[in-house]
């Protein structure tokens, strides 16, 4: 059966459906969910996570809208095939944009690469 | 597809009045009915179960408007739990089971026995010897044992111990795997609804205050915390239920995005709980 | 069997058990011994009086028992049409009335008295009249005032026993030609009362069914 490694938090300010969405994207990106893999039914996932059906419905709809998954009427929701590479590229593009902005900002105060690297490490540590 | 629909329903009982109630309970979801004691939750449930007749307006169940003519067929599809037990005190489980077998077309005796064991209900005891929790468990066992597709539960969790409450909520969620299942759940323990409810209906003084998707409600309203210094006439306009202490203020706002942009990291935004929201909306109305 | 009929049987268990006992006592006394010499007559009289009262008022008794702990709210939320509930009430009342007639009949065997048969006709007539009145109210407000109705039942029934049954027993063998109105009261009035009872019972059956569907059940 389905074994989805999803963690959500009720205390975080990120809406639950966003958390579900992000977790599934993470699983797809990390390869834990491959193209063609079935996602649990909305109702099943809602039950397993102890959240409402509408919340899971919304996460699935968003995922479908972004092309990560597709649903087959009467069968279920599946991880989309062709899109994984595209998605990765899209996220890479997004990261490139952020890096550009970051470098531009650090140039204004003459921040060195070492200092920048150090800052990244510190923030990374804080996040985990 | 709606499981329960009320159109412009009014009902007067003594000094209490339900006024022009319009309500659509969506099939396939859990709807939480909240409100203070005496707000009209039980009256609404009595109308839905055909125990009371509306003075005006129309009620339909599963799209059927002939609720009086089809009362028997419709009630067969509904499982109910009353907020207080209404069992004949001198009866025992086996006696009641015989009656239920006759009343419910689809009574599932093995399932009923399964729940009796699972809930540790004492079969040989008369109901008058039951604790309130045990009576509630029996009520729940009955509601779950005749293949109902609509559960109308009036304060089912109020007398349950915390362990059983969690077990019960899990059972409800498991039932919802069937997409034809609908649950209407009145409660004043709103933490029951924080996680599992899809929709929230709030009723106050016989009127519906709101009927909204729970997620949208909790996105709209947030709890904000911050230093007292940032409070001025303009900010206070965007906030309600402001509580000031030595360590800062706490308030509720549906303009939290604007405030976050204004004050950034000075403000901490938090998820509300449904009871906080209920308290807030009720107070907002009273002002 | 109809669900509400079964429910009523459950609630009438003790009434039915005592009825069976009285019937057996009556039959045994009639067949086996002379109850007057056995000193059994006062007991039999009393037992028959009580059981007839219980049988003819059983429909109310069941309703009163059902309101204990407000359990009628539970039973009324179980699947059933309101018209069917009223129909079962009427059928069950006819069943209990026939049973009360049978009890009086077996009692008449003991004493060999035709006057009991007139008493039976009179009681059945009064019983149906009261039931008609009761169900007219019951259909409108269901279980709200069932206790008051029981108290009201005892008035006309008590009257019937005191001013019909007692005189009937006391005037037994008396020459009634001197008091012709007694002749009418004792031997003609019961038929009128019974006819009126049957008629109102039949008419209120339809009105009560109609009214019941329009009313709150709790």
Compute how many other C-beta atoms are within 10 angstroms of the C-beta atom of residue A104. 9
- Within a domain: A8: no
pLDDT digits (tens, 9 = 90+) for B15-54: 899 999 999 999 999 999 998 888 899 999 999 999 999 9
- Residue C120 burial (C-beta neighbours within 10 Å; 0-12, 13-18, 19+): buried
**SS3 state of residue B17:** strand
Residues in chain A with CB shorter than 8 Å from the CB of B28 are: 53
Q: What is the pLDDT of residue A105?
A: 85
Q: What is the pLDDT of residue B285?
A: 54
Residue (of C6, C26, C17, C1) closest to C55 by Cα position: C17
The H or E element containing residue A39 is: strand A38-39
Find the closest chain A residue to B199 by CA distance.
Answer: A54
Domains and CATH numbers, chain B: 2-213 (3.40.50.300), 222-271 (no CATH)
What lies within 8 Å, CB to CB, of C146 at 6+ separation is C60, C63, C64, C67, C138
Residues A27 and A65 in one domain: yes
Q: Does B74 touch chain C (CB under 8 A)?
A: yes
Whether the pLDDT of residue A41 is over 60: the answer is yes
Nearest to C71 among B73, B87, B95 (CB): B87
Determine the residue among A10, A54, A58 to mutate to test chain B binding: the one whose Cβ has the most chain B Cβ atoms within 10 Å: A54
Question: Which one has a higher pLDDT value, A87 or B188?
Answer: B188
Number of compact structural domains in chain A: 2
Nearest to B219 among A10, A15, A44 (CB): A15
Residues in chain B with CB shorter than 8 Å from the CB of A52 are: 29-30, 195-198, 214-215
Q: What is the pLDDT of residue C8?
A: 95
Residues A71 and A20 in one domain: yes
Chain centroid, CA B16 distance in Å? 20
ipTM of the complex: 0.89
What lies within 8 Å, CB to CB, of B86 at 6+ separation is C69, C70, C71, C72, C73, C74
Q: What is the pLDDT of residue A25?
A: 86
- Within a domain: A43: yes
Nearest to B213 among A43, A46, A54 (CB): A54
pLDDT digits (tens, 9 = 90+) for B207-225: 998 899 988 888 888 888 8
Average pLDDT, chain B: 90
Residue labelled with tokens 């459950």? C10
Q: Where are the domains of chain C?
A: 3-213
pLDDT digits (tens, 9 = 90+) for B79-90: 999 998 899 999
**Interface contact flag, A52 B215, Cβ < 8 Å:** yes
pLDDT digits (tens, 9 = 90+) for A113-125: 888 889 889 888 8
Determine the residue among B47, B94, B99 to mutate to test chain C binding: the one whose Cβ has the most chain C Cβ atoms within 10 Å: B99
**Interface contact flag, A17 B213, Cβ < 8 Å:** no
pLDDT digits (tens, 9 = 90+) for B227-273: 888 888 777 888 877 888 888 888 888 888 788 777 877 888 888 88
**SS3 state of residue A5:** coil
Q: Of B167-176, C119-128, C143-152, where does mean pLDDT reach its minimum?
A: C143-152
Residues in chain C with CB shorter than 8 Å from the CB of B103 are: 3, 78-80
Residues A44 and A23 in one domain: yes
In this structure, what are the phi and psi dihedrals at residue A34, rounded to the nearest 5 degrees? -100, 165
Q: What is the pLDDT of residue C35?
A: 62
> What is the rounded distance in angstroms from the CA atom of residue A38 to the CA atom of residue A36?
6
Residues A72 and A88 in one domain: no
Whether the pLDDT of residue C196 is over 90: the answer is yes
Residues A66 and A46 in one domain: yes
Give percent above pLDDT 90 in chain B.
Answer: 60
Note down the domain range covering A29. Answer: 16-79
Give percent above pLDDT 70 in chain B.
Answer: 98
Determine the residue among A16, A52, A56, A61 to mutate to test chain B binding: the one whose Cβ has the most chain B Cβ atoms within 10 Å: A52
Determine the residue among B168, B171, B173 to mutate to test chain A binding: the one whose Cβ has the most chain A Cβ atoms within 10 Å: B173
What lies within 8 Å, CB to CB, of C80 at 6+ separation is B71, B72, B75, B103, C3, C4
Residues A25 and A71 in one domain: yes
Find the closest chain B residue to C66 by CA distance.
Answer: B88
Tokens linked to A125: 């540590």
C/B touch flag: 3 or more CB pairs below 8 Å: yes
Compute how many other C-beta atoms are within 10 angstroms of the C-beta atom of residue C206. 10
How close does chain B come to C72, measured CA to CA in Å?
A: 7
- Within a domain: A28: yes
Residues A64 and A24 in one domain: yes
Residues A34 and A66 in one domain: yes
How close does chain A come to B174, measured CA to CA in Å?
A: 6
**Average pLDDT rounded to a whole number, residues C89-94:** 96
**Interface contact flag, C78 B68, Cβ < 8 Å:** no
Residues A23 and A74 in one domain: yes
**Average pLDDT rounded to a whole number, residues B130-142:** 94
**SS3 state of residue B260:** helix
Residues in chain C with CB shorter than 8 Å from the CB of B49 are: 77
**Interface contact flag, A41 B195, Cβ < 8 Å:** no
Q: Does B173 touch chain C (CB under 8 A)?
A: no
DSSP assignment string, B177-245: TSTT-EEEEE-S-THHHHHH-SEEEEEETTEEEEEEEHHHHHHH-EEEEE-GGG--HHHHHH-EEEEEE
Residues A95 and A63 in one domain: no
Q: Do the Cβ atoms of B150 and B3 come closer than 8 Å?
A: yes
Tokens linked to C9: 């049987």
Q: What is the pLDDT of residue C88?
A: 95
Tokens linked to B106: 């689809």
Residues A23 and A62 in one domain: yes
**SS3 state of residue B36:** coil
**Interface contact flag, A51 B196, Cβ < 8 Å:** yes
Residue A28 belongs to a domain with what CATH number? Answer: 1.10.10.10
Split at pLDDT 50, 70, 90, the class of B287 is very low
Residues A108 and A91 in one domain: yes
> What is the rounded distance in angstroms from the CA atom of residue C64 to the CA atom of residue C82?
18
């Amino acid at each position: 059966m389905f074994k989805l490694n999803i963690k959500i938090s009720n205390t975080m300010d990120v809406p639950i459906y966003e958390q579900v969405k992000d977790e599934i994207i993470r699983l797809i990106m990390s390869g834990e969910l491959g193209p063609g893999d079935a996602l649990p039914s909305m109702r099943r996932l809602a039950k397993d996570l102890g959240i409402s059906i509408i919340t899971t419905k919304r996460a699935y709809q968003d995922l479908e809208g972004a092309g990560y998954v597709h649903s087959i009427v009467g069968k279920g929701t599946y991880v989309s095939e062709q899109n994984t590479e595209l998605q990765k590229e899209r996220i890479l593009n997004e990261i490139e944009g952020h890096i550009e902005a970051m470098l531009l900002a650090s140039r204004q105060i003459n921040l060195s690469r070492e200092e920048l690297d150090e800052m990244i490490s510190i923030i990374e540590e804080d996040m985990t | 597809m709606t499981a329960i629909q009320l159109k412009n329903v009014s009902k007067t009982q003594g000094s209490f009045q339900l006024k022009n109630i319009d309500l659509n309970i969506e099939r396939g979801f859990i709807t939480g009915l909240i409100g203070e004691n005496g707000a009209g939750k039980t009256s609404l449930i009595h109308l839905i179960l055909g125990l009371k007749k509306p003075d005006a307006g129309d009620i339909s169940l599963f799209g059927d408007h002939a609720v009086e003519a089809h009362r028997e067929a419709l009630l067969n599809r509904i499982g109910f739990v009353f907020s207080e037990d209404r069992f004949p005190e001198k009866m025992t489980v086996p006696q009641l089971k015989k009656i239920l077998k006759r009343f419910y077309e689809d009574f599932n005796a093995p399932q009923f026995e399964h729940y009796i064991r699972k809930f540790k209900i004492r079969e040989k005891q008369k109901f008058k010897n039951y604790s309130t929790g045990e009576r509630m468990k029996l009520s729940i066992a009955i509601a779950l044992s005749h293949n109902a597709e609509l559960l109308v539960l009036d304060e089912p969790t109020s007398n349950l111990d915390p362990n059983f409450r969690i077990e019960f909520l899990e059972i409800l969620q498991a039932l919802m795997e069937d997409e034809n299942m609908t649950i209407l759940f009145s409660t004043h323990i709103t933490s029951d609804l924080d996680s599992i409810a899809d929709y929230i209906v709030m009723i106050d003084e016989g009127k519906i205050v709101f009927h909204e998707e729970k997620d949208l409600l909790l996105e709209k309203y947030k709890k904000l915390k911050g230093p007292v210094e940032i409070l001025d006439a303009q900010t206070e306009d965007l906030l309600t239920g402001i509580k000031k202490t030595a360590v800062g203020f706490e308030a509720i706002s549906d303009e939290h995005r604007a405030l976050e942009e204004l004050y950034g990291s000075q403000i901490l935004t938090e998820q509300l709980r449904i009871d906080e929201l209920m308290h807030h909306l009720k107070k907002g109305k009273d002002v | 069997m109809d669900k509400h009929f079964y429910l009523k049987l459950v609630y009438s268990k003790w009434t039915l058990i005592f009825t069976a006992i009285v019937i057996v006592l009556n039959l045994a006394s009639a067949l086996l011994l002379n109850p007057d010499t056995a000193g059994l007559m006062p007991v039999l009289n009393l037992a028959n009086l009580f059981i007839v009262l219980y049988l003819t008022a059983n429909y109310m008794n069941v309703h009163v028992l059902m309101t204990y702990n407000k359990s009628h709210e539970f039973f009324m939320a179980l699947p059933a049409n309101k018209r069917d509930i009223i129909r079962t009430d009427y059928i069950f009342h006819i069943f209990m009335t026939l049973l009360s007639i049978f009890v009086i009949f077996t009692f008449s065997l003991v004493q060999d008295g035709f006057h009991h048969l007139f008493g039976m006709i009179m009681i059945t007539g009064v019983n149906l009249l009261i039931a008609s009145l009761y169900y007219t109210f019951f259909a409108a407000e269901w279980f709200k005032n069932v206790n008051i109705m029981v108290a009201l039942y005892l008035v006309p029934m008590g009257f019937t026993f005191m001013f019909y049954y007692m005189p009937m027993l006391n005037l037994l063998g008396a020459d009634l030609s001197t008091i012709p109105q007694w002749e009418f009261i004792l031997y003609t009035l019961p038929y009128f009362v019974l006819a009126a009872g049957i008629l109102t019972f039949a008419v209120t059956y339809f009105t009560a069914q109609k009214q019941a569907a329009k009313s709150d059940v709790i």
